[in-house]
Amino acid sequence: MIYLAHTAHCQFLGLLFGFLAWLFIVTTTGINEWRLWYVDDVSVITSGVAWVGIWRVCFYSHVLSEAENCRGIGVSDSFVPAEIPSAQVLMMLAVITGLLGNVSGAVAVRFAYFSVEDRRNMRLSFMVAGALYSVTAMLSLVPLVWNMASVLNNSTIDFPPEFNLPVAPVRQSVGAAIGMGMFASILMLISGVIFFC
């Protein structure tokens, strides 16, 4: 019985990876830097860069009343392409399933370290944690890849005039949020595989 607690160190590492990956997914969901739009006309956007996230669009301006101007993007806004509202929904689902995966992983590791009488519940909790971590990785990977493909294809967004953004950027690049999200998804998938083993 003591031997089981000594072999659960990999699963504890998986729980640690899952928790860190979940924190990165939460951060990715809130960051504005999914897309970086570079503009020529710096009369309004004085930095020449606008950050397009899944929740809002921000840029720096010395002309407008506030230095940092941000406008929110809603799920029901008609001007946004399909990948942005989909990312809003899928990333929030990833946050919820990741939290549930962490809870289930913590219960599984607790079973391994403290109570091994009922091995059926322990196996089930490891499998549930692995499944939730894998689902979380897929839920976050889909919007990340979709938005990255839109950036690489130089897809534009027809923002309304009150956003003070041009119809199309000179160029755009993948923001830090997509890179962080990809890392988090891979880490979450590794955590799920560890729990399945």
Hey, where are the domains in the chain?
A: 1-33+77-160+173-196
Given a cut of 90, whether residue 60 has pLDDT beyond it is no
pTM flag (> 0.95): no
pLDDT, position 67: 76
Cβ-contact 45, 39 below 8 angstroms = yes
DSSP letter, residue 42: T
How would residue 7 be classed by pLDDT, with cut points 50, 70 and 90? low
The mean per-residue pLDDT over the stretch 184-192 comes to: 96
pLDDT, position 1: 44
* Architecture of the domain delimited by 1-33+77-160+173-196: Up-down Bundle (1.20)
Cβ-contact 19, 100 below 8 angstroms = no
Q: How many angstroms separate the CA atoms of 29 and 174, rounded?
A: 15
47 CB-side CA count, 13 A: 14
The mean per-residue pLDDT over the stretch 146-152 comes to: 94
The mean per-residue pLDDT over the stretch 130-147 comes to: 96
Compute the residue count for the chain: 197
Query: What value does the mean pLDDT of the chain take?
Result: 89
